[in-house]
Chains A and B, each alone.
Chain A
Amino acid sequence: MKSNRTSYLFLACLFLLGVLFLLNLSLGSVKIGFSEILEGIFTDHWERASYREIILNFRLPKALVAILVGIGLSLSGLQMQTFFRNPLAGPYVLGISSGAGFGVAILILAGSALGFTMGGVSPWSTAFAGIFGAGSILLLVSVVAWRVRDSMTLLIVGVMFGATVSALISVMAYFSQAESLKLYTIWSLGSLGGLGWYQVVILAVLILIGAIPVLASTRSFNALLLGESYAESMGINSLRLRWLVIISTGILAGGITAFCGPIAFVGIAVPHLARLIWKSPDHRVLFPGSALVGAGLLLLCDTISQLPGSAQTLPINAVTSLVGAPVVIGLVIKRNFSKEF
């Protein structure tokens, strides 16, 4: 009976995800009907030539990026929360977003301050700078992880690294010109659009590489719910799991931040939403559940950020928090949050 409820919820969420996906493609500065989109995609017969361009080269990649980002951030948030046994942990606690920001800041801010350019600012160059920055921070965290035994120490060190790097970015921002400061600020607001198909494929591959080892360790994550000592007594190699968590989060959150900028909130909130929906701490349910909820939430936020009917858009990083925070606050107050974890 209980597993029935779980399956129904999965089906309902999958259906909702489909609706949100179509809604996301349909709404924007120009409204395109569901049937026209479906007909166009499956038969390549478009009512207007401009619709083909809008859907295939703009909205479809953006919707897919939203889904990929939602899945990636939610999965890395969930594994961080379980690994650190901390409900406030998320994909960025080890300083990964600050690291990616640092890479991009060097590209944009330091470039302008010191009077050199690294081939201009394109999605590719920011992505490389982001991956470089996130990778460097990850390397530092790994050195620490190798030396300390306690995962709580690792958490504190990660947060400290993040703070240090943020301070360095502030110093660079202080000395840089208004033009490049604006460029950097726009990057830090996040964006799901602006990626070509080639970059979408690369992002998808990164998400896949980051997610597979995590999903393959479902058993270990379940055992970890009782803490490291119990997990070890049940034959779990906690050291190997730690490396897996660091590397997987680095690839997932690092890759996403590099391509789309930092996207707040999703990684911390979605695992909690999944726990509330499925009422289970079992990672066999929570991993796919978080992925579904994360993808849906990001599609919804992106749809809202398009401000349907207007040509303006809002920054996605702001929308995720504006939409998500009230939802979570409401749920938290209604139910006893700490008991749910």
Chain B
Amino acid sequence: MKQQVLIGKNLSLGYGIGNQQKVVLSNLDFELSSGQLTCLLGPNGVGKSTLIKAIMGKMEPFSGSIDLFGASPSSYHRDDLSKKLSVVLSEPIFPAQMTVEQLVALGRTPYLSWSGRLSEQDKKEVSLALEATKIDYLRQERLGELSDGQRQKAMIARALAQNCPLMVLDEPTSHLDLVNRYEVMQLLQEIAKTQNKAVLVVTHDLDIAIETGQQLWILNCGSPLIFGTPEDLILQGEINHLLPDDQYFFDSKRGKVVLRHQISSIQVEGPEELVYWVKKALVKSGKPIPKDSIIISEKPFRIFCEGKEFTLISEFIQHL
């Protein structure tokens, strides 16, 4: 049961400086559905944060409309908006002495009375959020003693406890190591699916976005927002819009960004996998490419070139 949560139509956003309007983003069309993890990608300074601000209702569009459950986010009363939209922001603010449980309980703020006292229902929601993010075992730990990955999961649990159909996360993986990046994104995908939430993640990790996102939004300077499933965007070549420089392109066979550089003009013979890495090392080294042909053998790994034999790529590069 997919439901449209957020719809943007012909949206223009920007800042007013004096009497002048500085348009940052224009003609954006997009939609966000429940049960889906959507990744927003784009270079620094393209206006991702501006778009997030507009979705959070902190700024009015110059033209066009944003529609969150039938109304513009900025038209909501703050109490109502806080029950529709929860956020994980990029600023790493956390009180070190607070326990994970207390942090997650803060997510219940919109539902509490002045005293901040939690009802049984609130406590249940906190437990559910801790279970969904798989950090139940950290319940009594203090935030200052957690790793970055654990803390980010706790922040996600807090947003989850706020019990909103839409979650927006601004670069939640930017401080994390590779494994934690995958874990956090995997977690968000699960949450979107099992709890039927619309999750929008701003990220710079193209690889992980393709791996985990059901939908990609690609923002680029001066061109409209491109959206679609990652697989479609790859096959249509649209993903290359993220790489404004002609030097790079998205290798759809390998599913990653590579240097376009004369990689194909180098003559290397041998098993495909080995040829790829040897070529890569050659291009990166910036050394002159040998005129003689290069032959690679597998098991044992050997490189033959200019009548010599090498057992490691590094030896070969050094020789050149």
Interface residues of A, Cβ cutoff 8 Å to B = 2, 85, 216-219, 222-223, 225-227, 229-230, 232-237, 275, 279-284, 338-341
B97 contact set on A, CB distance < 8 A: 275, 279-281, 339-341
Q: For the complex, give the distance between the alpha carbons of A20 and B140 in Å.
A: 35
Min Cβ gap A73→B in Å is 22
Shortest Cβ gap from B55 to chain A (Å) = 11
In the complex the two chains form, what is the Cα distance from A227 to B103 in whole Å?
13
Residue contact A218 to B78, C-beta cutoff 8 Å: no
- In the complex, B23 has a CB within 8 A of chain A: no
Pick from A85, A229, A234, A281: contact of B109, CB under 8 Å: A234
Interface of B is mostly: loop
Q: Which residue of B lies closest to A226 (CB)?
A: B93
Q: Which residues of chain B from 15 to 29 have any CB-CB distance to chain A below 8 Å in the complex?
A: none
In the complex, what distance in Å separates the CA atom of A338 from the CA atom of B78? Answer: 33
Q: Does B74 contact A (CB under 8 A)?
A: no
Task: Choose from A218, A234, A338, A339 the contact partner of B110 (Cβ within 8 Å).
Answer: A234
Distance (whole angstroms) from the CB of A239 to the closest CB of chain B: 11
* CB neighbors of A among B68-92 (8 A): 78-79, 81-83, 85-87, 89, 91
Contact of A232 among B78, B112, B144 (CB under 8 A): B78
Contacts A235-B78, A284-B115 given; does A341 touch B95 at CB 8 Å: yes
What A residues does B235 contact at CB under 8 A? none
The contact string, 1 if C-beta is below 8 Å from chain A, for chain B 106-120, is: 110110111111000
- Does B96 have its Cβ within 8 Å of any Cβ on chain A? yes
**Given A233-B82, A235-B81, A237-B78, A339-B89 contact (CB < 8 Å):** no
- Distance of A275 Cα from B98 Cα, bound (Å): 11
User: Are A216 and B87 in contact (CB-based, < 8 A)?
Assistant: no
A217–B91 alpha-carbon span in the complex (Å): 25
With A and B bound together, what is the CA distance between A220 and B86 in angstroms?
A: 17
Q: Is residue B162 within 8 Å, beta carbon to beta carbon, of the partner chain?
A: yes
- The minimal Cβ–Cβ distance linking A2 to chain B, given in whole angstroms, is 8
Cα of A166 to Cα of B117 in the assembled complex, Å:
43
B94 interface hit (Cβ, 8 Å) = yes
Give A340 to B97 CA distance when docked, in angstroms. 5
* Given known A-B contacts A234-B106, A234-B162, A218 and B82 have beta carbons under 8 A apart: no
**Cα distance A322–B106 in the bound complex, in angstroms:** 38
A280 to B106, CA, bound (A): 14
Q: List 17 A-B contacts (CB under 8 A).
A: A85-B93, A222-B106, A226-B93, A226-B94, A230-B89, A233-B56, A233-B87, A234-B106, A235-B83, A235-B109, A235-B110, A236-B109, A237-B78, A275-B97, A281-B97, A340-B96, A340-B97
Tally of chain B residues near chain A (CB < 8 A): 32
User: Is B106 a contact of A225 with CB atoms below 8 Å?
Assistant: yes
| B116 CB contact (under 8 Å) in A218, A233, A279, A280 | A218
Given contacts A222-B109, A223-B109, contact A234 B82 (CB under 8 A): yes
Closest Cβ–Cβ distance, residue A114 to chain B (whole Å): 47
B85 contacts across to A, CB distance below 8 A: 233
Chain B residues, CB < 8 A from A281: 95, 97-98, 102
- Residues of B within 8 Å of A232, CB to CB, are 78
Contact of A234 among B103, B107, B144 (CB under 8 A): B107
- Contact A225-B98, Cβ < 8 Å, known A218-B116, A219-B113, A234-B110: yes
Q: How far is the CA of A279 from the CA of B95 in the complex (A)?
A: 12
The residue on A at minimum CB distance from B164 is A233
Cross-chain contact B89 with A216 (CB below 8 angstroms): no
Whether A227 touches B56, Cβ cut-off 8 Å, given contacts A236-B109, A237-B78, is: no
Q: Are A339 and B82 in contact, with the CB atoms below 8 A?
A: no
B7 to chain A, nearest CB (A): 21
Alpha-carbon distance A339/B231, docked complex (angstroms): 46
CA distance A222 to B115 in the complex (A): 10
Contacts of A230 in B (CB 8 A): 87, 89, 93
Q: Which of B102, B103, B116, B140 is the most central at the interface, judged by chain A CB atoms within 10 Å of its CB?
A: B116
Q: Which residues of A contact B109 (CB under 8 A)?
A: 219, 222-223, 234-236
Residues of B within 8 A of A219 (CB): 109, 112-116
Nearest Cβ on chain B to A341's Cβ, whole angstroms: 7
* Residues of A contacting B107 in the complex (Cβ-Cβ under 8 angstroms): 234
Residues of B within 8 A of A235 (CB): 78-79, 81-83, 109-110
Enumerate chain B residues within 8 angstroms of A226, measured Cβ to Cβ. 93-95, 103, 106
- Please determine whether B86 and A233 come into contact, CB atoms closer than 8 angstroms: yes
Closest 6 CB pairs of A and B: A235-B82, A219-B116, A234-B109, A227-B93, A235-B110, A339-B96
CA distance in complex: A217, B109 (Å): 12
Kindly report which residue of chain B lies nearest to residue A82, judged by CB atoms. Answer: B95
Given contact pairs A232-B78, A235-B81, A218 touches B106 in the complex (Cβ within 8 A): no
Contact yes or no, A341 B96, CB < 8 A = yes
What's the nearest-Cβ distance from chain B to residue A279, in Å?
A: 7
B114 contacts which of A216, A237, A282, A340 (Cβ < 8 Å)? A216
CB distance from A214 to the nearest CB of B (A): 11
CB B61 to nearest CB in A, in angstroms, measures: 19
Taking A226-B103, A233-B82, A282-B116 as known contacts, 11 extra A-B pairs with beta carbons closer than 8 A to each other, sorted by chain A number, are: A223-B109, A227-B91, A229-B91, A233-B56, A233-B89, A234-B107, A235-B82, A235-B109, A275-B97, A339-B144, A341-B95
